[in-house]
């Protein structure tokens, strides 16, 4: 989603596996999450995640994300209608996280990525790396993550493509007298830009309002 990278400093969230694998160390118990999102123009996406503590070794997790871009009309060079075709992406991740000390943790994911457009497909393998500084008593956290660092295994055609490497930094703070957590982040810091200042155009402020143990708003 558009706000996903805002939560690089989130905590106690099974979906944190996707944004910053170090978040797994903040889970108070084994957690699982399943989500489905319906967008405009017949675009759908979904995810599933599971994270648990493994003895005293560390935290382990697995997650699956997919995006279905719907169907498109297909034409040849002479504008003859050839029917329709689809496009989709899928990524499966496994991760591990551990504390350096009570406040600072690290995490790593390895993920397999599959993408297809019509009869063409491509696969890739990538790594996500993350650090998280978390102070539970102050309800403050700061995080940094490097996502999609990897390479293509198979190509759509004869030319290879770079994976969209994404560097995110941010911090969050839960307000003292409200069930509201504010997130401040910078994302896509590895994007190539003409000016250094343009790297900071992806500045985001987001919020999470917790209604109860089962419902929250972002």
Report DSSP letters for 148-215, one per residue: EEEEEEE-SSSS------EEEEEEEEE-SSSSEEEEEEE--TTS--SSGGGGGS-EEEEEEEE-SSS-
Q: What is the mean pLDDT of the chain?
A: 88
Domain boundaries, the chain: 4-71+83-217
Top-confidence residue, 210 or 55: 55
68/65 Cα distance (integer angstroms): 10
- pLDDT (tens digit, 9 = 90+) per residue, 76-108? 888 889 889 999 999 999 999 999 999 999 999
Backbone CA torsion sign across 103, 31, 183, 187: positive
Is the CB of residue 168 less than 8 Å from the CB of residue 21?
A: no
Whether the per-residue pLDDT at 4 is higher than 60: the answer is no
Query: CA-CA distances (angstroms) from residue 216 to 14, 168, 181, 212?
Result: 14, 23, 11, 7
Whole-structure pTM value: 0.86
115 pLDDT above the threshold of 90 = yes
Please determine, for residue 210, whether its predicted confidence score (pLDDT) is greater than 70. Answer: yes
Could you give the dihedral angle defined by the CA atoms of residues 107, 165, 17 and 105, in that order, rounded to the nearest 10 degrees?
20
Please check whether residue 18 is in contact with residue 47, taking contact to mean a CB–CB distance below 8 angstroms. yes
| Yes or no: domain 4-71+83-217 corresponds to CATH 1.10.10 | no
Q: Encode pLDDT of 145-154 as tens digits.
A: 999 999 999 9
């Amino acid at each position: 989603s558009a706000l996903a990278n805002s939560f690089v400093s989130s905590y106690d969230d099974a979906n944190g596996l996707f944004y910053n694998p170090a978040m797994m160390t903040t889970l108070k118990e084994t957690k699982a999450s399943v989500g489905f999102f319906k967008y405009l123009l017949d675009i759908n996406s979904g995810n599933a995640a599971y994270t648990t503590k493994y003895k005293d070794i560390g935290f382990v997790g697995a997650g699956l994300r997919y995006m279905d871009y719907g169907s498109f009309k297909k034409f040849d060079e002479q504008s003859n209608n050839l029917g329709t075709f689809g496009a989709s992406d899928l990524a499966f991740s496994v991760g591990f996280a551990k504390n350096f000390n009570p406040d600072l943790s690290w995490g790593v994911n390895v993920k397999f990525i599959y993408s297809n457009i019509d009869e063409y497909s491509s696969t890739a393998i990538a790594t996500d790396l993350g650090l998280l500084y978390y102070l539970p008593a102050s309800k403050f956290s700061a995080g940094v993550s490097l996502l999609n660092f990897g390479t293509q295994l198979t190509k759509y055609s004869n030319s290879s493509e770079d994976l969209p490497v994404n560097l995110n930094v941010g911090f969050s703070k839960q307000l003292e007298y409200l069930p509201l957590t504010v997130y401040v982040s910078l994302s896509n810091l590895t994007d190539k830009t003409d000016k250094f200042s343009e790297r900071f155009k992806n500045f985001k402020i987001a919020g999470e309002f917790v209604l109860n143990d089962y419902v929250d708003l972002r």
